[in-house]
Amino acid sequence: MGCSLRVKLDGEWLNVTERMNSKPSLVDVAKRANVSISTVSRTITGTGKISEETQEHVRQVMRELGYKPNRVARRLRAREGKRHLIGLIIPNIQNPFFADLARGVEDVAYKNNFAVMLCNYDEDPKKELFYLDVMQAEQVDGIILPPAHEEDADVQRVRQSGIPVVCVDRSLSDPTIDKVEVDNEQGSFEAVAHLIKKGHKRIGLISGPGDTSTGRERLEGYRRAHREAGIAVDETLIRYGDYKQPSGRDIAAELLSLAKPPTALFACNNLMLIGAIETIFARKLKIPQQVALIGYDDLPLAAVFDPPLTVVQQPAYEVGQRAAELLFKRLEDPGAPAGSLQLAPKLIARGSC
């Protein structure tokens, strides 16, 4: 404790009489540098005018002491937009699409010296609410998330409490919200049109949840492709999954067991596509001869699968990047009109249909 030590630090010997037991705080730095804590604080935040030489001296002392600002204390005091933490709440971290998206968000945050608090709500609105509360209680500067459904009252509530929210992938019906989406209707349209061009007239749809924007829009693309081709939609071929693997497997089984089964399957996300493949594999059906297959979202092994899987690819990483950028823009200018980006999906025609 109060003992005086001679210590070699950064190449020079120093007399130290400080508590060595706990981490140094602003006060410690101030004392050591013979300045006030405001001066130290200001050199850290870059706010206020401190003479260059004072700043250098303070920085030197911080280095000597191995001082690291306490993010918790800082956040408690700092005002909105300056807390250096954003929240990312995603439906399913085990979905490669969201993993890529998360990387996009994280990289931009990292460059801005922000940390990301990443949570996983497992497509469960109750868990989504829990994490929404956590984010609020953690005083994050903003939240990025694909809401559980289009009319997500919990998200709206958080937003009205003053925390900026950016919707990614899925959106909210409220148009005043910042969002980054991919053109789902178009992506789905192209997929189904591709199938129809190949001669398919009975296309089984493994759709996403009807109350998500992505589910609704991809369904609409499916309908439009039929409409434009003059093909009537057989409603029994449309089934709603939950974007998870088992639902894809089960729905594929249902569809393929129909008296008049579809000749092609369109899975509205990657996990459900995997599920569908499970079923096709179990029934030893040949792709695309017996069932043609197309999916939404690319997959690591898709290109080398047998046959290579045709999918609608989404720029997941870029979606994350843009969303983070939008959020940072929002932090700079809270009053700006809502930003809304729509990126383009891309049909990657491979061999499965």
Partner DNA sequence: TTGTACGCGTTATCAC
Partner DNA sequence: GTGATAACGCGTACAA
- Which spans of this chain sit near DNA (rule: CB under 7 A)? 8, 10-11, 22-23, 25-27, 34-39, 41-42, 44-45, 47-51, 54-55, 67, 69-70, 73-74, 76-79, 82
Q: How far is the CB of 48 from DNA (least distance, A)?
A: 5
- Give the up-direction half-sphere exposure of residue 129: CA atoms within 13 A in the CB hemisphere: 7
Helix (H, G, I), strand (E, B) or coil at 236: helix
Nearer to a copy of itself, 131 or 296 (CB): 131
Among 81, 96, 261, 351, binds a copy of itself (CB under 8 A): 96
Helix residue spans in the chain (DSSP H): 26-33, 37-45, 52-65, 71-77, 96-111, 125-137, 153-160, 184-197, 213-229, 245-256, 270-282, 316-332
Among 28, 64, 100, 178, binds a copy of itself (CB under 8 A): 100
Give 324-340 as a DSSP string.
HHHHHHHHH-TTSPPPE
Helix (H, G, I), strand (E, B) or coil at 262: coil
Residue 182 near residue 100, CB atoms below 8 Å: no
For a copy of itself, the binding residues in 252-291 under the rule CB under 8 A are 271, 274, 277-278, 280-281
Nearest Cα to Cα of residue 208 among 273, 115, 279: 273
Nearer to DNA, 67 or 121 (CB): 67
Q: What is the distance between the terminal CA atoms of the chain, rounded to a whole angstrom?
A: 74
Helix (H, G, I), strand (E, B) or coil at 321: helix
Beta strands 165-168 and 178-182, pairing class:
parallel
Among 57, 59, 103, 198, binds a copy of itself (CB under 8 A): 103
Q: How far is the CB of 33 from DNA (least distance, A)?
A: 8
Nearer to DNA, 52 or 306 (CB): 52
Widest CA span of the chain, in angstroms? Answer: 89
Phi, psi of 29 (to 5 degrees): -60, -45
Which residues share a beta bridge with 16? 5
Q: Does 93 bind a copy of itself (CB under 8 A)?
A: yes
Among 43, 213, 245, 313, binds a copy of itself (CB under 8 A): 245
Per-position x/- string for 165-194, each x denoting binding to a copy of itself as judged by CB under 8 A, each - no binding: ------------------------------
Contact partner at residue 38 from a copy of itself, DNA, none, CB < 5 to 8 Å by partner kind: DNA
Contact partner at residue 106 from a copy of itself, DNA, none, CB < 5 to 8 Å by partner kind: a copy of itself
Which token pair is 92?
């399913």
| Part in contact with a copy of itself (CB under 8 A); list of ranges 129-137, 179-187, 189-197, 325-333 | 129-137
Q: How far is the CB of 23 from DNA (least distance, A)?
A: 6
CA distance 123 to 121: 5
Contact partner at residue 240 from DNA, a copy of itself, none, CB < 5 to 8 Å by partner kind: none
Q: Does 37 bind a copy of itself (CB under 8 A)?
A: no
Contact partner at residue 212 from DNA, a copy of itself, none, CB < 5 to 8 Å by partner kind: none
Q: How far is the CB of 52 from DNA (least distance, A)?
A: 8
Q: Does 16 bind a copy of itself (CB under 8 A)?
A: no
Residues 281-300 as b/e (b if ≥16 CB within 10 A, e otherwise) read: eeeebebbeebbbbbbbbbe
Which token pair is 284?
């030893």
Which token pair is 271?
């996990």
Contact partner at residue 25 from a copy of itself, DNA, none, CB < 5 to 8 Å by partner kind: DNA
Which token pair is 302?
């898709």
Q: Does 306 bind a copy of itself (CB under 8 A)?
A: yes
CA of 7: how far to CAs of 22, 30, 34, in Å? Answer: 17, 19, 19
Residues that bind a copy of itself (CB under 8 A): 23, 68-73, 75-76, 93-94, 96, 99-100, 102-103, 106, 110, 115-120, 127, 130-131, 133-134, 136-139, 161, 245, 271, 274, 277-278, 280-281, 299-301, 303-306
